[in-house]
Structure 1
Amino acid sequence: MLTIRLALGGSKKRPFYKINVTDSRNPRDGSHKEEIGFFNPIARGQEVRLSVKQDRLAHWLSVGAQPSDRVAQLLKDAAKAAA
């Protein structure tokens, strides 16, 4: 089953997450099919906090990929902020 989830990156005390499409059985930071965006939880000021390639997100959702709980919440919050 395909899952859209966060993969941890960054350095000590400065987390940075990539939004990846991967098989649900793979490890969190393991191999992935495609990177479709990123999430920076400590962004301040003019820095971008969340970026997602909407066309690729729509494609993977149409193929049957399921977002994780955290990714679903991030997308929901981003849609609310854009409206």
Structure 2
Amino acid sequence: MVRLRFKRFGRTHKPFYRLCAIDQRAPRDGAAIEELGWYDPTQQDPEKQTSLDVERIRHWVGTGAQPSETVSDLLVREGVLDKKTRKLVKG
């Protein structure tokens, strides 16, 4: 099964994450099927914290990929998923 999850980059105390479509059996920082964006939690400006390819995320979720809990929370915050049902938002 394909999951949408983060790969960790950066250094100690300065994390940086890439959002990837990846096989659930692969290791956290293993080979990804496709990279869909990035998340930098150290940025103060919310505009600069994320960069997501929403079209490709919608494609992967539409074909059955399951987002991890953390990715799901991020997608709700960005307006890609509905808050209550965790399903794709039309639009």
Structure 1 and Structure 2 fold alike (TM over 0.5)? yes
Q: CA deviation at 1:45?
A: 3.6
Q: Which runs of 5+ in 2 are unaligned?
A: 81-91
**Structure 1 residues 47-82: Cα deviation after superposition (integer angstroms, max 9, x where no partner):** 6101110110011111110000000001111229xx
Letter in 1 for 2:71: V
Query: What CA distance in whole angstroms lies between the structure 2 residues aligned with 1:49 and 1:7?
Result: 16
1:60 corresponds to 2:60: yes
CA-atom RMSD in angstroms:
1.6
The CA distance in 2 between the partners of 1:62 and 1:75, in whole Å, is 14
Query: What TM-score do the two structures reach when normalised by structure 2?
Result: 0.81
Residue ranges of structure 1 left out of the alignment (5+ in a row): none
Deviation, structure 1 residue 46: 7.4
Match of 1:2 in 2: 2
- 1:66 to 1:46, Cα distance in 2 relative to 1, 3 A: closer
Relative contact order higher in (CA < 8 Å, ≥ 6 apart)? 1
Percent identity over the alignment is: 36
- The 3-state SS of whatever aligns with 1:31 is coil
In 1, the alpha carbon distance for the partners of 2:44 and 2:73 equals: 20
Q: Which aligned segments of 4 or more residues in structure 1 are displaced greater than 3 angstroms?
A: none
Output the CA distance in 2 between the equivalents of 1:73 and 1:20: 15
Q: What number of residue pairs does the alignment pair up?
A: 80
Q: 1:4 to 1:46 in 2, by over 3 A?
A: closer
User: What corresponds to 1:21 in structure 2?
Assistant: 21
Which amino acid letter does the alignment assign opposite residue 49 of structure 1?
Q
Partner of 1:71: 71
Gap change, CA 1:61 and 1:46, over 3 Å in 2: closer
